[in-house]
Structure 1
Amino acid sequence: MKRDFNHQVKQLSRILFSFLLLFIVLFAGLFYWVNRSPDTIQETEEVIPLVAVDDSIENGIHLATGFVDDDGMQATIQNCTNCHSAKLVTQNRMSREGWEATIRWMQETQNLWDLGDNEDLILTYLAKNYAPDSKGRRQNINQTEWYELE
């Protein structure tokens, strides 16, 4: 009986050792594949195109974004629409100081990069084309006829 037990222990240890060895080989292969150097990765001939953007301008408006066609529009598109919709820009009206404060807020809290030489161009574009209207963001509600809820 003791001999059978020893035989079973030896078989179990061989099986466990085989699984351990298999695990080590698989882990080493996975580690090599994940950490291989870029020069060992073969380049493909296929070029995957980026999404085509319609740069058409109609009636002074860039059709793809809704931005006003003016100096600084392309820099604004390239720096603003990477993170959010163009609508977020076109729906707002601010002074140059307001746009600058918004950019600073995005840099401090939203990881917006340093705009460098483009900052002045973008601020000038935004302040000129998206300045406050005399009416504000929306007109006041002038409801004179009231009704009662039943």
Structure 2
Amino acid sequence: MDENTNLPEQIKAVYRSLFAFLIAFCIIAIGLITYIKNPNLFNNDSKSAETESEYVAIPQDDDFDKIENGIHVRTGFVEAEGLMETVNNCTNCHSSELVLQNRMSKERWIATIRWMQETQNLWDLGGNEAIIVDYLVTNYPVIAKGRRSALTDIQWYELED
């Protein structure tokens, strides 16, 4: 009778073993499927899998830094002194839209840069900092506005009956 009293524990042990086997099988299957779909992911050659599979190369053709009507096409920044310093330093980490939607004073831009350096691992901008801040303050000044900006550039049309 002692053998029968341990039966539920033995069944639990079998279930645990089957569960562990099932988990291991799933992990191996996922790894195999991943390898079949992208064998370079597991390649340790000089070319890292990271550069081949995760990043898409941005074409460096003639249109890469094209300016049309005074606007840098790729970013939407205004063409002015300090444009490329701003593009090269600001859009490495975030979209140009984040810069364009913020209009700050010189003091606020400097404070924002310090915050990014302290909390977001922004590198020391060196001499480019003054150029970037001047570019932003000159081309994207603070706009005094109320609750919401007034609508501009509206194209009215007649409603048809």
TM-score, L = length of structure 2: 0.54
1:69 and 2:79 correspond: yes
Superposition CA RMSD, Å:
2.7
Divergent runs of 4+, >3 A: none
Q: Separation in 2 of the partners of 1:80 and 1:57?
A: 18
User: Partner amino acid for 2:84?
Assistant: Q
Q: Percent identity?
A: 58
Distance 1:139 1:52, change over 3 A: same
Query: What are the ranges of 5 or more consecutive residues in structure 2 without an aligned counterpart?
Result: 1-43, 151-161
Partner of 1:98: 108
Higher relative contact order (CA 8 A, sep 6+): 1
**Match runs of 1:1-150 below 5 Å:** 50-52=57-59, 54-135=64-145, 138-139=148-149
The CA deviation at 1:134 is 3.0
Give the Cα separation in 2 of the matches to 1:50 and 1:62: 20
Q: How many equivalent pairs are there?
A: 98
Q: CA deviation at 1:126?
A: 0.7
Aligned counterparts of 2:137 and 2:147: Cα–Cα separation in 1: 15
The structure number with the bigger radius of gyration is: 1
> Given the two structures, how large is their TM-score scaled by the length of structure 1?
0.57
